[in-house]
Amino acid sequence: MDFQKLEIEMRRLALEAGALIMEVYGQDDFGIEAKSDESPVTVADKLADAHISKGLRTSFPDVALVTEEQSDTHEAAVSTFLIVDPLDGTKEFIKRRGDFTVNIAYVENGIPIRGVVYAPARGRLFLTDHTGKSYEESGPFDTENVGKVRPISVSKPNNSALRIVASKSHRDEATDDYLEMYSYSDTKSAGSSLKFCLVATGEADLYPRLGRTMEWDTAAGQAVLLGAGGEVVHFDTHERLSYGKPGFENPFFIAFAPGVELVSTS
Amino acid of residue 48: A
Please tell me whether residues 177 and 144 are part of one structural domain.
Answer: no
Please tell me whether residues 7 and 89 are part of one structural domain.
Answer: yes
Q: What 3-state DSSP class applies to 137?
A: strand
Mean pLDDT of the chain: 93
pLDDT tens-digit map of 104-134: 999 999 999 999 999 999 999 999 999 999 9
Domain end among 119, 151, 183: 151
Amino acid of residue 118: Y
* d(C-alpha 123, C-alpha 110), whole Å: 30
205: exposed, middle or buried (Cβ count in 10 Å: 0-12, 13-18, 19+) = buried
Query: Which residues does 157 contact at the CB level (< 8 Å), separation at least 6?
Result: 163, 205, 206, 256, 257, 259, 260
Please tell me whether residues 76 and 134 are part of one structural domain.
Answer: yes
* d(C-alpha 85, C-alpha 107), whole Å: 14
* pTM, rounded to two decimals: 0.95
C-alpha 120 chain-centroid distance? 14
H or E element: which one contains 82? strand 81-88
Nearest to 230 by CA among 208, 256, 209: 256
Mean pLDDT, range 202-219, rounded to an integer: 96
Please tell me whether residues 54 and 16 are part of one structural domain.
Answer: yes
Domain-embedded: residue 130: yes
Domain-embedded: residue 266: no
Domain end among 151, 184, 213: 151
Mean pLDDT, range 257-265, rounded to an integer: 91
Mean pLDDT, range 164-188, rounded to an integer: 85
Domain that holds residue 99: 3-151
Please tell me whether residues 173 and 116 are part of one structural domain.
Answer: no
Omega within 30 of 0 (cis) for the link into 140: yes
Q: What 3-state DSSP class applies to 235?
A: coil
Work out how many domains the chain is built from and give that number.
Answer: 2
* d(C-alpha 106, C-alpha 112), whole Å: 6
Amino acid of residue 122: R
Nearest to 132 by CA among 239, 6, 258, 260: 6
pLDDT tens-digit map of 47-99: 999 999 999 999 999 999 999 999 888 987 789 999 999 999 998 899 999 99
Q: What 3-state DSSP class applies to 55?
A: helix
